[in-house]
Structures are given as C-alpha cells and as structure tokens.
Amino acid sequence: MTSTAYFRYFRRTNSLIRHECTVAVASTSNIGSSEITLLKAHHRAKKDALEVTAEFCAVDLRPVSIVEGEGFRALAQLLIFIGDKYGKVDINDLLIDPRTIRKKIQEIAESERAEVYPRIQASAAAKELAATLDLWSEDSSKESVMTLPFPKGQPKNAENLRAFITKIIAERGINEEQMANVCFVTDGEAALKNALNKWWREYCSAHAYNIVYQHVMTAAPKDFQGLPPQAEILAASVENIVSELRKLRNRKLGAKIIKEEKLVFPNTFTRFSCVTFVSDNFLKIRAVLQKAVCTEADELLRALHMGNLHALKEYMQNLEQAVGRDGHASGSAYPAVLKLSEVQEGDTDFVKELRTHLASNKNIFVLKVLQLKEACSSLVTWMKSTGHNSELTTTLKQQMELQAFFQRANEGKKLEDRNTRLEKIDKELLDQLVELFTPLKIASEQVQAKNATTAHLPLVAYYGLLCSYEDSPNCPDIINFMRSRMRSELKNVVKISKANKVAAFLDPSFRSFRRMLSEAEKTEVHGWVQNLLDDMEAEAPNQPDPDEPGADGAVTTAPSPPKKAKFDPYVAFRDEEMTTLSLGDELKVYLEEPLGEYDKGDPKPLAWWQRREKLRTRMQTLRQANKRPE
C-alpha cells in the first residue's frame, strides 16, 4: 500500500488527512468453508460492466468513485457468487428493503457501541483517553458541526459548547468526575478554549507546526525572530540542494543523469516549492548527486592520465570557485588537487609529480569530491551556524594528507606512528562532528518535546543523512570507513524516540521515507508493535471454555487492570477516518482486527506486518462510529 499525500501549508491541515492510496485486491475469496479462486474477467464482460456502471452513476446520481469503495466491491462480488451458485436470480427478489437495511445498521451500531464504550470508559479511568474537537460550518447548509451536528438555533458560546461536549461524553458512560481524565486536543478557536478551560486541553501540534511552517515559507529573513532557528536552517539547506541541482541540470552530463533518474523539477522555485520538491524526491536527488560526483571524478582522472592539462586546469578552477561560493575556505578542502590550478604549462616536472600523486591516491581524491558535494548539498549552513567550518575542513585536510603520505611511504614503516596520528585526528574529527550535528540534535529534541510528529523535516534530514553515509560496494574502502564513522556518530548525537520511529513507520505521510530505515530498525519497530499486541492479549479478559463442565456463562473472569501505555501520547493524522488518540490506543484500533498470529521464527518479520497493513481499508467504518443512523 502506498500513499501519495503530502503537506501543503496554504491548504492548512486539511491535506494531512487526505490520502490517495492504492490497495492490493485479494485474488481468492472464502464462501462457507471452501476457497474459490477468482478468474480474470473477459474483455467483453468488462465492456458490459463499464456501460452498466456508467449508467448506474448517471441515473442514480452516484459519484464515480463509488466503484472504489470496499462495500460496493464486496456487494458486487457477492452477487457474482450468488449467480454462479444459484443461477439467474431475480434481483428484485434478492435485494433487501431499505427499512430492513436501516434496522440492521441500527443493530450493528448498538453492537459496536456495546463493545467500544467499555473500552472508552476503561481508558478514561486510566487517564489514557484523548478526544479531538473541531468546530466548523458546512458551506451548503450553514449547519454547525462538532463531530456531531451542533443543535440548531443555539449560540456557539462557551457555555453551550461545554454542555454539548458534556452530553456527548456522558452518553459514552463517562461522568463529570472522570472528565478531568480526558485530554481534549483542539486548535486555537476561542470558543472551544473557553469551553474547555476547566478540563485538560492540549493544543494541536499539527496546527502549531502549520503556523510555523507558513511563516518559514512566506516570511522575510528579518521576520524570523522568535521562530525556531532549525526551521530556517533546514529550509536554507534545501534551497542549497536545489541550487546545486539547477547548476547540474545546465551541464550536458548532469542533464543526462537527471533524465535517467526521472527527476522532474517544479515549474517555479519558491521556498515552499523547494521544500516540497526535495521532500517528495529525496532518494532520486541523492542518486543524482552521487552519480554526478562519481562521473565527474572518472572524467577528471581520465583527463589526468591522458595529459589534458587544459581540461584539468579549467575543471579545478571551476571547482575552486564552487568551494568559495559554498562557504568553505578557498583551497582548504582540496589541498593537493587545487595546487593543479597553480601549475604553469611549462612546468613539466611538477605536472608529472602531481599526476603520479593523484594516480596513486585515487581513493583520497574521490573521498574529497564526495565530502564536498555532501557538505554543499545539506550541511554547509549548519557548519556556518556552528562556526566550525574552517576547523572541520582543516581536520579533514590533515587526515587526507596523512593518508596520502603513508600511502607513498614504504609498507611496514612507521606503522605505530601512523596509527597514533590517525587515532588522534579521528578523535578530533568526531569531536567536531558532535558540534556540527548539534542543530539537528536540537531539532530532534524539540520534535520529541512537543510531540510534533507531523513536523517531518527533522526526520527527513536525519534519515537522509544516514542514507548519505551508507556503505557502497562501488566506493573505495576509505570512503566507506569515513561514512561508517560519521553514521555511527550521527546516531550517537541525534536520538529519535520510539514514538517518533513508530510514527515514521506507520504514518502515511512518512511512508515514502520508510525505505530509509535499516532492516535492523524496521525489525526493532516491528518488535515494539508486536509487544503492544502481546500486552493487548494479556489484558483481554479470560473467557470460560464452553466445553468445560459448569461453564454456563454465569461466572466470568474479571479483566486484569490496564497496564501503563508503552508509548507517549502524541498528535498525528493517520487517515481521514481516524480520530486523534494516544499512540497506544490508536495502534490498538489499527491492529485489533485478528489476522492470525505472527510466527516469531519467520526470517522476514515484516511480511506479517505487511499482511496486516491491508486492513487499513476496513478502517473506513470508523468514520461512522460517532454518527447516529437515520
């Protein structure tokens, strides 16, 4: 299942709950105890179905999207099975009277309430119940709505709203004393704030982040006083990435790579369009930059071996200018390579020495190119903000020069001195990386402190950096060594809580970045979800066995007291059908449908989770949970 939803600040938070998802359709169906394999429809049958469906939508004034509904498909499939089993049946004799259907819906609703209300009451007693409230008016009918229709004719003041909320909560078996245990999550609407001033109320982090996001995308730099500096830092970093890509697109080689990766640029480059573009195409952008860097390195080395001095000088001059534009000290990041720009055409011996040096240290050169590109694309603004840009490049320079020196030395000489100096420089480099990643660490801590799991930019940056430092079989060992050290240090500096990792794994708005999680992290998150399911089974009341003597249903085992939630409450919009609950309660609703037990010996633990994920479409019924049938 995939989600194409994304956040647009000018549409407020509405787009956070709008998802256009594709769901795999099962190829088999069970009727009774026998399994029936579904056949592919003949093209003539498809043509007839198209005509009848179009006529159905036009004559009965139904939306064409009705054919995508799970209920419509289930009904159509049942009718096909009935025709196959009983022959040609009169549809007027088969279809049920609307009044009978309405009565059946009422029975189902009462049955669902009898099951759900005790869970709500138990959650309220344990202070684990949250409710989201929003007051709005329909444009067509001008009817005020707050989950349920607000009484017509009543002023929408704090007193009437409080009475209305109390009535709805009381209908679910929660008295006034337990109202203090319910957490109400709302936006900043004044009437709602006054109505809930005596109870537990939390401001919706999605709305708070939306306001900050609007300022970041629209405000001038002078208007950023008082806003989180990480928001401006991340937005500026994204603009730098887009700037590098635009320059790459203007070169023939870069345009070819961009075309191969099917990277489509936005029509206009505004601050918001840059953020959206990078967020939606993060993996493609990373692939384009890495391919461009490797291709440029190969071309430069080819020119070096062919003795094309003019091409080498032109390339290095352009590279030196790029280093200066991106905020590094000119000439410091590439000490050995940039000397090539100082070579005169007649200085043959020096050119020969440089060629020999570069040819024997190809690994060092490629490492330098990759380090520059990665810094320019995502970390240069953070380096500026911490003031460690010159120190960091100096340390990198020392390490690279040291590696080059000992590669030229004879094997077996000065090994002890080499290891000592390498350990010292590695320690200095890692200490400076701690300072370099401080802004990202602060952003991560703020996300966890405010439970703003909808603020996806820090998580995107975090997992994006981890991917940037992944090992590659096509890169030399020294590059993979440096990437491994930087990845390890980044994980030590930036801590992502369990709640945020689970949100990144389950939230549709994060699913495009799920592939950035390592297999170990995916398995770890799956383990947390499995532990929650085990706790749910342990908390369920023990039902008597009907086969046991005396098990007549008169005596039942009392349920065990509810355990403390394993996950901190947070606000995240999963699907348009779901309400805002604590993470534990929401996962219970999401995962409670039985689908067999997970085999702990399965070598692919995520396969069980992927099968369970197909149940998302059934969650559409939650939309009717708080509505009374007509």
Per-residue pLDDT tens over the stretch 540-553: 444 444 444 444 44
Instruction: Give Dmax (Cα) for the chain.
Output: 106
135 near 150, Cβ under 8 Å?
yes
Structure tokens at 48: 């007839």
Asked if 444 contacts 465 with a C-beta cutoff of 8 angstroms, the reply is no
Q: Give the list of residues 6+ apart from residue 61 with CB closer than 8 angstroms, or none.
A: none
DSSP-assigned beta bridge partners for residue 132: 185
What pLDDT is recorded for position 117? 84
DSSP string, 528-589: HHHHHHHHHHHHSPPPPPTTSTT-SSSS-PPPPPPPPPSS---B----TT-----HHHHHHH
Residue appearing with tokens 């990665």: 374
Residue 204 three-state SS: coil
pTM comes to 0.31
For helices 229-249 and 282-306, give the axis angle rounded to 10 degrees.
50
pLDDT of 477 reads: 62
Domains of the chain and CATH, by start: 9-97 (1.10.10.1070), 101-203 (no CATH), 210-215+228-496 (no CATH)
Residues of the chain with pLDDT under 70: 1-36, 135-153, 205-238, 240, 271-272, 275-276, 279-280, 282-283, 286, 289-290, 292-472, 474-483, 485-486, 489-490, 492-519, 521-522, 525-526, 528-630
Q: What proportion of the chain, given as a percentage, has pLDDT over 90?
A: 0
